[in-house]
Structure 1
Amino acid sequence: MSASRSRVAVTGLGTVNPLGGDVASTWNAALAGTSTARTLENDWKERYGLAVDFACQIAIDPFEHLARPEAKKLDPSGQYSMIAAREAWADAGTPDVDPTRLGVVVGTGIGGVWTILDQWDVVRERGARRVNPFTVPMLMANSSSAHIEIELGARAGAHTPVSACASGAEAVAGGMDMIRSGRADVVVVGGTEACVHPLPLAGFANIRALSPRVDDPEHASRPYDVDRDGFVLGEGAAILVLESEEHAAARGARVYAYASGRGMASDAYHISAPSLEGQSRAVREAVTDGDVAPADVVHVNAHGTSTPLGDISELNAVSDALDGVTDQLVVTSTKSMTGHLLGGAGALESVFSVLASHHRVSPPTINIENLDPEVSLNVAQNEPVDLPGGDIAVLNNAFGFGGHDVAVLFTSA
C-alpha cells in the first residue's frame, strides 16, 4: 500500500458535551435516549429579551477538570477541547511518536465568542487597559489546535478548519489527508464550540433556525418528526486520535474503526439553505474514497438538525448518493439528544459513528412522535437499533452554512 493510501485507524476518543463529561458516560446516555435541552438558569431572557432561552449545555464544570490558572487562559471552547484531547490521547495509550510525525487538526465554527464579547464589555465599561492580556490567544479560532499542539509537542502541522457546522468533520478529513499523504503518522483531530451565549441565541432565533418550544425544551429537538421546527443550540468538544495502520500495528494499539473515506463539496447555492446536489456529491465521494459498495453502508449518523427543509433534503441526498440502495440503512440524528454543537457537531458525531461501528448499534433519534411521511429511509425511532456483524461501513454527515458539505466514512475494524 502506498503512503498516499495508508489506511487510517481510529485509536483514541475523547469528548465533553451535554450528554457526558467523557466517552463512556456520553455513549451510555445516548443509548438511553437522554434529552439534554433545558431552560437556562440565568436572567438572559428578561435582561436581553431573548425569544429562546433554552439550550444543551455541557454536563461538567471545566474548572473541576482543569487547573484554575490554565482554565483562566482558555476560552470555554478551548477548555472543552483540552479536556477532550487529554481523554482521547490517554485512550489511545499516549502514543510514542516522533514529534515531527504528529499533527493536530481541530475545527470550530466561531471560536472564542465568549472572550470576544466579554472583553469588549471590559473595554466599554472599564477601559482598554483592563483587557485581559491573553485575549487574542483565547479568542482566535486556532486557539484549540494551538494549545493541543503545544501540549503534545506536535510538529507535523496544526490546522483549524472553520467551515461553520462542517468544521469538526472537515478536521477529521484533514487528519486523514495528513496521514495518507505521508505528512504524519498520528493526527489528533476534532472540533469544539462554546456558543451558548445571548448573541448566538438571538441571531439563530431571529433567522428562525432555533426551535421556539420554550415551554417544552426537552422535546424541542425532534429530527424527522412532522412537527419539527428548528434546532436546539448545544456546546462541547470531541477529539479522535487517527493513526496510520502501520504505526498503530507496530505499537499494538487497539483500533476502534478505520477512517476509510472522506468527501467534501461546496454548494455555491445559498448562505443558509441546503443543496441536495452538493450533499449528494460529498456522500458519494466518501463512499467511493472508502472503496465500499453502497450496500456496505449500514448506518448514517445524519446532520439531521431538526429543521423542516434540511432533514428531508439530506435523506434524499443520501439516497441519491447510494443509488437508491438503502434498505440496509439505519439513520439516526444524535442532535435530538445533544443539540447542535455547530463546529463541534461533526467531531462528536464522528465519535458516535465510530462507537456505532465498534459496538454494532445505532443510537436512537428521540422525540419522534409522528414520523414525517416524506422520510424515505429507516430511522432509529426513539430506541437503539442493532447493526449487522461482518464488515460494515458507517457514514457521518456534516453540512454548514455557506454550503460546506463534508461526509466521513468509517469501516469496522
Structure 2
Amino acid sequence: MNRPVVVTGLGLVSCAGEGVEAHLAALDTGAPPRTDSESFAPYAVHPAPTIAWDNQIPKRSDQRQMEAWQRLGVYAAGLALDSAGVKDDAAFKQALHLVVAAGGGERDYAADGAILTGLRDAPDPGAYLNERLQNDLRPTLFLAQLSNLLAGNIAIVHGVTAASRTFMGEEAAGVDALRIAQARVASGQIDAILVGGSYSAERPDVLVIHAMGGFLARDGYRPVFARGELGGFILGSCAAFLMLESEAHAAARGARALARLDAVASDRTRRRPGSVAASLEVLWRQAGLDAPDHVLSGATGLASITTEERDALARLAPTVRVQALGDVLGHGLEVAAPFGAALGTALVAAGRAREVAVTAVGHRRGEGVLRLGAI
C-alpha cells in the first residue's frame, strides 16, 4: 500500500515564539532571530521564549520533574494535539503512536565538574575516570537524563499511550523519525502518528561538547549562508511536533489536512569533498522533487558542507528562494528536520506554496530531503 500521508496538526516552539503564525512571521521579516550573546560568550544561543507551561502541562509536579528539553517537547506535542483537534479525545490518543527524535538529556553538572576537576591531578587518569563513573552514576545508570523520557512524559501528560519509539543520532535522527513515521502510515500499518523532537541549547554541557569539536560559531549571529570560512552553528532551544495521518483517516474524522508529506529520503555518505552535494542531488530525485516553490534548508553553517549545499541547491532549484532554518530559530540538531517539515506544512497550508523542499544535512553525518505538497 502507498496511502497518501497528510499533516493534520502542528506544534512549534522556538526563539521566534510559539505556534504557526509566529514562525511564519519570522520567515517573512527576515530579521535576525532573538539571540543571547552574553550568557555563554564567546558562543551565542537562540533562547527559548517565555512560555506559560500551564497551558499544556497543567500539573506543577510534572513541570518540576522535567528539565527544559522535556518541557519544550511536551509543550509542543500538546500544541500539535490541539491543532489536530484531538487534545480531549482519549480514545484517539490511546491508539496514537509516537516517534520522538532527541539526544541525551541534561547532565548532572556537579558530578561532571567534580570528575573533570579530579581528572587534572589523577596519577592514573583512566583508572580514576572508570572509578568515578562507576561510583557517581545515577540509579538510571546514566549521568544524563535518558532520551526516551520525553516520550514517557508525553504519554503521562497527554495520554498518548500506544507504541512509542525514540531516535538518537543528531540531525539524522530527526530525518529518520519522519521517514519511519511517514512510511508506517503510508504502508497501512497504522492510521495516525505523532512525530517530532525537542532541544535545549541553553546548557553548558552541549556547548562544551560542540565547542570541543570546533562546530560552534563565535562572536554573535550572522546568517547561516554568510558565516564565511570559519563557519559554525548557533544552537537554538526549540521543539516541533507533527500529527501525521492517512488522508482517508483524517477525512473520516473531519480533520483538515494541512499538507501532504509525500516523501522523506535519507542518506549517510562517507564525508569527503563533494559528497554532500552528490548526496543531495540523489535524494532530491528520490524525493520526486522537480520545481518546488520554496526550499527550507537545515544547513548548519559549517563552512565546507554549507557551501556544498548552497551550490547544490542553486543547481537543483535555481529560481527558488532558499531560507535557512538557522536564520529563524537556530540549529536544533534532532529537531532540524521536524521543524523544517512543520514550517513547510505551514507554508503550504497558508496557500503560499504548492510544494516545499526541506533539507537536513548533519554537521557530522547524515543527509535528508523531504517533499511536502498541497492537498
TM-score by shorter chain over 0.5: yes
The match for 2:239 among 234, 237, 240 is 237
SS at match of 1:294: coil
In structure 1, the residue matched to 2:290 is: 294
Distance 1:25 1:318, change over 3 A: closer
Q: Does 1:313 find its partner at 2:319?
A: no
Map 1:9-408 → 2, pairs under 5 A: 9-34=6-31, 35-41=33-39, 52-61=42-51, 63=53, 65=55, 66=57, 67-94=59-86, 96=89, 101-108=95-102, 110-112=103-105, 114-117=106-109, 120=112, 139-154=145-160, 156-213=162-219, 217=220, 220-225=221-226, 227=228, 229-269=231-271, 275-287=276-288, 294-295=290-291, 297-318=292-313, 324=315, 326-361=317-352, 387=353, 392-408=354-370
Q: For 2:253 and 2:322, how far apart are their aligned partners in 1?
A: 35
**Percent of paired sites with the same residue:** 22
Q: Which runs of 5+ in 1 are unaligned?
A: 46-51, 288-292, 362-386
Shift of 1:182: 1.9
Q: Which shifted more, 299-308 or 74-83?
A: 299-308
Distance 1:354 1:153, change over 3 A: same
Shift of 1:267: 0.6
TM-score normalised per structure 1: 0.76
Given that 2:5 and 2:182 are in contact with CA atoms closer than 8 Å, whether structure 1 keeps it comes out as yes
Q: For 1:153 and 1:61, how far apart are their aligned partners in 2?
A: 21
Shift of 1:394: 0.7
Q: For 1:135 and 1:118, how far apart are their aligned partners in 2?
A: 16
Per-residue CA deviation, residues 61-90 of structure 1 (Å, 9 max, x unaligned), is 465553321022223211111000001001
Given that 1:106 and 1:145 are in contact with CA atoms closer than 8 Å, whether structure 2 keeps it comes out as yes
Distance 1:401 1:157, change over 3 A: farther
Distance 1:122 1:91, change over 3 A: farther
Q: For 2:322 and 2:183, how far apart are their aligned partners in 1?
A: 27
In structure 2, the residue matched to 1:368 is: none
Given that 2:225 and 2:310 are in contact with CA atoms closer than 8 Å, whether structure 1 keeps it comes out as no
Q: CA RMSD in A?
A: 3.2
TM-score normalised per structure 2: 0.83
Given that 2:281 and 2:316 are in contact with CA atoms closer than 8 Å, whether structure 1 keeps it comes out as no
Shift of 1:346: 1.5
SS at match of 1:224: helix
Paired positions, count? 354
Given that 1:103 and 1:149 are in contact with CA atoms closer than 8 Å, whether structure 2 keeps it comes out as no
Given that 1:116 and 1:135 are in contact with CA atoms closer than 8 Å, whether structure 2 keeps it comes out as no
Q: For 1:210 and 1:130, how far apart are their aligned partners in 2?
A: 30
Given that 1:103 and 1:187 are in contact with CA atoms closer than 8 Å, whether structure 2 keeps it comes out as yes
Q: For 1:63 and 1:235, how far apart are their aligned partners in 2?
A: 15
Q: Which runs of 5+ in 2 are unaligned?
A: 118-131
Give the residue type in structure 2 aligned to 1:56. Answer: H
